[in-house]
Every structure is written in C-alpha cells, then in structure tokens.
A and B are shown apart, each in its own frame.
Chain A
Amino acid sequence: MNTTTPETAIDDFARNLKAVSGHPHLVADHVAAAEAICRIIADAAPRCVAVAQIPAAILARVEAHCAEHQIEFLKEPYPAGDLPGLIDRAEIGITGAAFAIAETGTLAEVCTNDAVRIVSGLPRTHIGIVDGNQMLLQLLDAAPRIREAIQEHPKGVTLSFISGPSRTGDIEMVLTLGVHGPETMHAVVIGGGHGE
C-alpha cells in the first residue's frame, strides 16, 4: 500500500512519475534546474527549443546555452499569426507548472494562453518545471488548487494535468510512447529539500 507523507512526497512523486515513463530531476535551486535542463538539451541535440511561462532565472540560462550551441530558441511573446506552425519547429518544449501531485507523478500546468499548451503538447520532448514546495500529496487534494486557479482567471483558463509522456496501447495493447505529442517527458522539481 502506498501512503504519501509530506516527508516522502518528492521521492514519491519521482517514483510515481517513473512508473508512468516520465523522468524526474530533483534539484536544489534555479541554477541547478537550468543545468539539468541544459544537460537534457545537450543530450537531445535539438535544432529548436521553445519555452513558455518558466522562471526568468532559468530562461536566461537556457537561452544562453541555446545561443552558445546555435540552437534556435523560441520564447514568449508568441505572435498569434505564427502559431501553431512556429512551435511545431521545436523538438523540445519547456513549460512551468503551478503545482504537482506526489501520489500520481502529475504536473499541473495552469495557463491563460494556449501557446503554453502547445509548447508542452507538440514537441517530441517536454520538460516541465515545478517548485517542490508546491507538491500536493494526493490527487484528491487538488480540488482547492483547481478551484482557486479557475476563480483567479474569470475570463478563461486551462489546467493540464500531465502524468508522463503521450501514450497509447491501441495496437495489440503494446505500450507505445509519443504517438502525437511528447515521447519523452521530464519533470524538474526545484527545492523541497532535494538536490541532484
């Protein structure tokens, strides 16, 4: 039986995300987060990276890394006329999540612009960033956070729970990743007493 406690929450998140084929990275701070992300980028060697609603300190470092390695770097604001084609160029999409759920290895992305959703939804690789202090223990604990996000944005808001990469079992029940969106999904969890 799995019971998540505040002490084990981040480790539980990591274990549960791995169980759904995601890759957790537990890091101490923004600098370490940016380093982890740059390592993922270096390994994947993409031509183009897109980001949306990520912390400024991380953005600056990742942008510098991309510039250094001649990787096209896409960031907000995204002109409406260029979408969705522009983001379709990116092989890696990086977005910030508002909170996470340990019990299920879930990132919760809250956005008021759908550009964020396609940054996490179109590229082959998605990297989500979340503050380790925003870790909920259980799925059913999420109701107040969902309600709050909806009420904060009376004009329109979309929450996306993301638990691992895009998956299907539609052919012979064989688990296959990345049929439409991300084939690889990373979650970078910052703080909460952990460092890689």
Chain B
Amino acid sequence: MASERKAKLEAAITEAIDNPKQRNALYYCMKRGRDKRTERLDTMPTGAAFRPEVKAIKEKCIANQDALLAQFTANAEARGTKVFIARDGADAIRHTLAIAEEHGYKTVSKSKSLTTEEIEINYDMTDAGLQVVETDLGELIIQLVDEKPYHLVFPSVHKMRDDVAEIFSKATGKEVPPDIDEIMRVVRSYLRPIFLNTDIGMTGANVGIAETGTIVIETNEGNARLVSSIGKCHICIVGMEKIVETVDEALMMVLAHPVSAVGQMPTTYVTWMSGRSPLGEGGENRASHIIVLDNGRTRMREDPLMKEALHCIRCGACMNICPTYGVVGGHTFGHIYPGPIGIPWTAEVHGLETAGDFAELCISCGLCKEICPAQIDMPTMISEVKRRDAVKHPPDFTTRLLMAAEPMAKLGCAGAPLSNWSLRNPAFRWLMEKATGIDRRRELPPFARKTLVKRFNARTPKKTTDTPKRRVAFFYDLYANYNAPELGLKAIEALEAQGCEVVLPPQRACGYPYIGYGALDKAQDVAIENVQHLAPYVAEGYDIVATEPTAAYCLKVSYPKILPRNPRAKQVAGRSFELFEYLMEIADDAPKPQDLAGRRFGFHCSCHQRPLGFGDGAMDWLRRRGAQVEFIESGTCCGMAGTFGLKHGPLGYDLANAVGEPLFDAFKKSGVDTIVTESSVCSIHLKEGTGLEVVHPLGLL
C-alpha cells in the first residue's frame, strides 16, 4: 500500500498532468529561459566560462565565511548601517518587529526576496499589525491569493491574464479587464501610493561584499530602488551565504545570475548600496539595517554532502531544465524553494520530512547540474536527501526491485526462453504489474540465453599483434551482458577492427539506480568494487570503454564524486570512455564504406551522455558512413530516466510520458524514419512514444 505521503504526491502529479493549460505555460516559460540563455552564451566572447569561476568564488567564500562575515559587518557598520546576525527565522522576525515597534512604523513595502519567504516573515509582520505589500508584480499576484512561488524567477507563471485580472479586480474593487497593458496600468496606480508612503522598505540582496560592506540588489522592475530609497527605514534580509569578498567577485555574480536565468545581462536595475544616503536636503538620518540570516546555513557548511547547496545564486536555471518540475510545477515540486535546488535546500532549512515529500520527483537525469552557473551537483545531494529520508520512509518494493536489477537479470537469463515468453504474455504482465509495480504496457527487452561474457569466452580468441594499437577493458554493464550480447560483441569487434586488444574485466553493473533512487551508500559499495576491479587494468595501460552512456557517466563522473577520497576512482575516470567517442578518437582517416548513404536519422542523446560530448562520437561515426543525422531534442529529458519510466502509476510511467511528450512530438515532426540512440532504456521509451523504429548505432553496422 502506498504511504499517505506518496498517495498525496501521486494525486498532485495526476492533477498536473491533467492540466495542459498550466503545463504549457510552464513549458513555454522554461523553454524560453533555456533558449535565451543559450542565445546569449553564444554571443558572449567567453561563453559559459564564468561557470567554473562562479564555483571557485563560492567555494572560497563559503570556506572563509566567518572572516568575510566579520569584514562585511565591520565595513557596513562603519557606514552607519546596523548589522544583525539572525540565528534563525524567528530571530530575524523578532528583530524586524522590534525595529517597527520602536519607531511606530506601520507600512512595509517589499521587493522580491526569497530569503524573506524562507522565513515566512510576512505572516508575522501582518499579525503584528503591519501593512505588508509585495511590490514585485509576480510576488504581489501570489501574495494576493496567498500562494507560494511556482517558479523562482517567475513566481506567478501559473496565473494567466484572466486569473491576474480577476485577482486585481478583487484587490481594487474595480473591474479589471484581462488585458496585460490594462493590468499594468492598474498595478502601477495601485502600487504608487504604497511606494510613496513606505515606512519600511524591505529587500533581500543578491550579493553582499565584504571588502566594502555593500549589498547588491537586482530587479527588472525597479521596485527595489523605490522601496530602498523612499522607505523611512531600509531593512535588507540577506542569507549568510551571499557574502563574497570583493567587488570583482560580486560583478561575476551579477553577470552569471540573469544570464543563466533568462539570458539577460545584466538585470535591468542593479543597485549597489554602501550605507544609506539622505533623501533630499535637511532631512534626518534614515535608518538602515542588514539582517544576515543563518537559519541552518552554518550547519550546512559543516555537512560535506550538503554544503554545495550554499553555492546557489538563485538564478532559477535548474528549474528551467528539470523535466519533472516542468510537468508538475513548484507547488508540487518544492516547498517554498521550488525545483531541483529546492530539495536539498528544503531538507536543510525546512526539514528532511518536508523535502522528502517531493524528493522522489527527482529522476536523477543530472541536467540541473549541467546548467547551473555554480556547477552544483544537485543530483548527488538529492540522492543523499533520499537516503536520509529513507531511514524513516524506506523505498517501496518496486524501487527496491529496480535498484537490484542485476540479480533479476541473472535470473531472467537463467530462465530464458520461458522468462521471455512470460514477459510477452499479457496475463503474466498483468500479474507482474500487481506484484512488482512494473507497468504492463512497457515492452521489456528479452533476456539472452547466453550472456555476453559466456559468448565472449566461447569465442575463438582473436589473434592480437604483439603491439595492439590500444588495450581496452570493456565495461558492458547490464544490457549488453544480459539482454543484448550481440550488441556487446559488435562493440568488441568494432574495437578490434581498429587494432585494439579487448578484454572483459570482472565487474558489476554500474549501480546508477542506487544513486537515482537514493541508496548512496549502496552506490558507493558498487563504485568501490568496480574501481577495485578496473584500477589494475588502468595501471597496466588499459583504457576502459563502455557502451551504455549511463555506465560511462558513472565511471567518468559519478564514481570520483561519490568516492572523493579514493585516488583510484580518479585514475579510472581519467581513462574511461564512451564507445563512439573512443572509436572516433582512434579511427584512421581511410575512407569508410558509404553503406548508410541516403539514410536520415534523428539522434537522441540521453541525459547522462550530454556531459560526455552530446553523442558527437556516434553522430560523426554515422555521418562518416554517409548517413544524414539530425540532433533532435526538447532541451530536457525524455522522461524514462533509467528504470523510472518502468514503474506503474503517476510517479513512473505517467510522469515519464508527460515529460516525453515534447520530445516525441519533435521526432514525429522531424520526418526522420529511424531514431538512433545509445541508451538502452531511452530506446524503449522513444519507441513506444513515437511509434518509430529505434536503433543503436552498432545495430547499423
């Protein structure tokens, strides 16, 4: 029986899937953000080179946080600003209310600040009798209906013009037509007296600068300029992690933030406040307060698996690419902080239990990490959140079964052909769905009677020259060994044809499902074992070559990350390759047979293949044989996410299909007759979703 929490999550997913209007709005918003980012990066002389710089700055500043905070405080106070370090939300709220009470302030105009939302200060200020108004349009819209942000950059993206017109009709007591220009006029005149009569102007800050005691506030609407200049008192609530050391570092954040969010550079208004100036001549000194919020950040810094979350600059790019967020939105995928970073952040500041309510929505595609300006490894952090959460809420049977796919595959092979007959039998599949939670509609790949290892060992050994061109230890993973040994053999022959000596080292399946489903400890066990198996080969000069993109990703990216203190994991990573990347690297220049001339393929790159070179190796390889190859993508995942899409129900098959829709459409519209992909699982999903033929490039040999 599904737990209550899972049932709630599943109901929310189904509701989202059934709301195409909202889904389309969100999809368009995310796509636009991604596309604009790419366009802008293309015009920048140094492209995305700021990413490692942002990461390095954040790493350094978080490591020196105590000293920087002291420096920031001293410099801000030297300019007459009062700095208060708040332990937690309650502390920050108490301090704010004390300021308001001392001076008899009545009104608060806020500009957008996620940090103030984190501590939900609006409720307490309102309870204390203050009139609190959000002045960022998106924030105002959700404040008027008492909702949480749906997206970090576009908090009200789920509200269409009709909804917004209705909201302002209610707020103003006058009929507002559903016309955007008209709504803007209404908003302008609604907010103007609020700006002019501000007692407390409350803002967040995107950056704090230690060397000068400056806060930097970015807005497109210009509302932060107004509330911070007009307010009798300015209160800035800033997360402790936002403090950098120098002006130069702050500028790097000012660049990276809007570029990553929507391809803008910079945000329309960037305000650098270093102390507070008077307003007009002869007025009194106006109060200026900075509240630096800890609220779990110091603890986070001490947590080696979570501290990277502190590098977040809140650009929202991760939620522009997250496939499942793109279907369900920030009210389901998030608590107050939505999207990918919302999982670790919520776990740290709002509690593991709350994060666990939506952590399962992460299907571990890794795309958020690829787009993040601070190169934050969210998937690994999320895996750890799931692992911690599982202590109280163990994974369900289906998930446990899918994590342990290798023993199942062994059984399947041992039982073939009976097991294959069963997999094709509708009655059996119905029973299997009930018993295991694997969706009966999925066409599962048949098991081979003889595994690749058996067939390889039974082969007449290839005569290798004394000096082979390269020596390759082949990493076959599950699929090539248990389901498609002929594919594995083709890979081996292709390598041998290029003069490689190929051996099959002892190995276990790559174990990525453990990372995806949150058994990080088990993933570490597999990683240790595989590194132990492979390192001696690397030491002897072998290269490790894998056919399955996720396996190559594990060897190259995941193992060194989850075994940070294991130098051999790095050595193995340094010599691991994806098959076609490798084949292209060692290929000679001799003309190739044009056996694929006249064929037109659509190429699908799996998410884990993106950081390994976007499948360029396979596409080049096909093109050298005369094929026409188009790279077709939706800009996000196909939805299958390893074995996630095999699961029956909203949190599996249904969500996988909803995620996949735009990609299926793109393939169907492209006019190609065949899809080529190297991922065994994506291929199942694409075949069912598009009705087109899907092949592995080796299948075209």
Contact = CB atoms under 8 A, between A and B. Distances in A.
A92 interface: no
B254 A139 contact: yes
B282 A180 contact: no
A154 B275 CA distance: 8
Contacts of B277: 111-114, 156-158
B203 to A, nearest CB: 12
B272 A118 contact: no
Contacts of B135: 180
A158 B212 contact: no
B196 A161 contact: no
B274 A153 contact: yes
Interface string A140-163: 101100110011011111111111
A173 to B, nearest CB: 6
A18 interface: no
Interface residues of A, number: 63
Contact of B281 (A79, A156, A161, A163): A79
B251 A139 contact: yes
B266 interface: yes
A83 interface: yes
Given A81-B280, A157-B277, A167-B220, A179 B43 contact: no
Contact of B280 (A77, A142, A159, A169): A77
Counting chain B residues whose Cβ lies within 8 A of the other chain, the interface size class is 35 or more
Interface in B226-259: 226, 229-230, 246-248, 251-252, 254-255
B80 A156 contact: yes
Contacts of A173: 28-29, 32, 154, 157
B229 A118 contact: yes
Nearest to B249: A143
A146 B251 contact: yes
A2 to B, nearest CB: 5
B137 A88 contact: no
A140 B266 contact: no
Contacts of A103: 265
B183 interface: yes
Contacts of B267: 163
A61 interface: no
A78 B271 CA distance: 22
A170 B275 CA distance: 31
Which of the listed residues A163, A166, A170 has the most CB atoms from chain B within 10 Å of its own CB? A170
B401 interface: no
Contacts of B279: 80, 83-84, 113-115, 118
A183 to B, nearest CB: 9
A68 interface: no
A114 B285 CA distance: 12
A36 interface: no
B431 to A, nearest CB: 48
Contact of A143 (B28, B141, B248, B283): B248
B280 A171 contact: no
A182 B220 CA distance: 11
A169 to B, nearest CB: 7
Nearest to B273: A158
Contact of B160 (A104, A147, A172): A172
A20 B268 CA distance: 8
Nearest to B282: A80
Nearest to A121: B225
Interface in B117-143: 135-138, 141
A118 B226 contact: yes
Nearest to A174: B180
B434 interface: no
Nearest to B183: A171
Contacts of A171: 137, 156, 159-161, 164, 180, 183
Contacts of A162: 268-269
B542 interface: no
Contacts of B195: 84, 122, 180
A166 B247 contact: no
Contacts of A167: 220-221, 268
Nearest to A182: B222
A56 interface: no
Most buried by B among A81, A140, A164: A140
Nearest to A144: B247
A178 interface: yes
Given A3-B45, A81-B280, A118-B226, A168 B212 contact: no
B78 interface: yes
B450 interface: no
Given A170-B137, A173-B157, A180 B283 contact: no
A117 interface: yes
Contact of B188 (A79, A112, A163, A180): A180
Contacts of B255: 139-140
A169 B154 contact: yes
B250 to A, nearest CB: 8
Most buried by A among B187, B273, B279: B279
A156 B275 contact: yes
- For the complex of A and B, the 3 pairs showing the least CB-CB separation, nearest first, are A80-B283, A156-B275, A80-B280
11 contacts: A1-B45, A80-B282, A83-B279, A83-B283, A117-B225, A118-B229, A122-B226, A168-B220, A172-B160, A179-B137, A180-B223
Interface of A: 1-3, 20, 76-85, 88, 103-104, 106, 111-115, 117-118, 121-122, 139-140, 142-143, 146-147, 150-151, 153-174, 176, 178-182
Given A155-B79, A172-B161, 15 more contacts: A1-B42, A76-B281, A79-B281, A79-B282, A80-B284, A81-B283, A82-B280, A83-B279, A115-B279, A150-B247, A156-B277, A157-B277, A158-B229, A171-B164, A180-B191
